[in-house]
Amino acid sequence: MKQLIVIITLFFSITAKAQMHVDTGSVCMPTAIAKQVASDLVRGDSAKAMLALSLDELDLTKQKLNYKDSLIFTAKLKEINLMEQIRNEQGQKNGYIALLDDSKKQYADLAKKFKRYKVKKTFTDILFTGGLIALTGLLIAK
């Protein structure tokens, strides 16, 4: 019985070692199929490399697009700022024009008043001087 167990154990160990020594690194196939497999593998590797290159190009394009978008956004902000400055300066100009017109009206009114006061003063001076002369003449004549 012991001999039978030893023989069975040896048989299984030999068959297991024989299965372990089978070389699975090489596969036997016809040449045409091997060439086709090799061609497909090369195409697959090329496709992977092209995909990686395309993804890199896509990332660079996205970066360029973001940069250009930021430039456009900055230019739009500048345009908005300049338009606001133009509106402010036009409002300021309109304010100055209104102030100038108002000043001209006030100057014309003051010029008229000044002429009236000047005429009144001249008339008052003439009357006062005439009155003094008349009083002086009356005092001297008495």
Which pair of structure tokens corresponds to residue 54? 């395309």
Q: What pLDDT was estimated at residue 92?
A: 97
Q: What is the pLDDT of residues 92-127, one digit of tens each?
A: 999 999 999 999 999 999 999 999 999 999 999 999
Q: What pLDDT was estimated at residue 9?
A: 75
Question: What average pLDDT does range 58-62 have in this prediction?
Answer: 96
pTM for this predicted structure: 0.46
Q: How many other C-beta atoms are found inside a 10 Å radius of the C-beta of residue 43?
A: 10
Distance CA 98, CA 96 (A): 5
User: CA angle 129-132-135, nearest 5°?
Assistant: 150
* 80 closest CA partner among 91, 72, 68: 72
Which pair of structure tokens corresponds to residue 45? 């590797």
Which pair of structure tokens corresponds to residue 77? 């902000």
Could you report how far apart the first and last alpha carbons of the chain are, in Å? 188
Q: What pLDDT was estimated at residue 24?
A: 58
| pLDDT over 70 (residue 89) | yes
For the chain, give every domain's residue range: 40-141
Cα dihedral 68, 70, 71, 76 sign: positive
Q: What is the pLDDT of residues 2-43, one digit of tens each?
A: 676 767 776 666 665 555 555 556 667 788 888 888 888 888
More confident residue, 11 or 50: 50
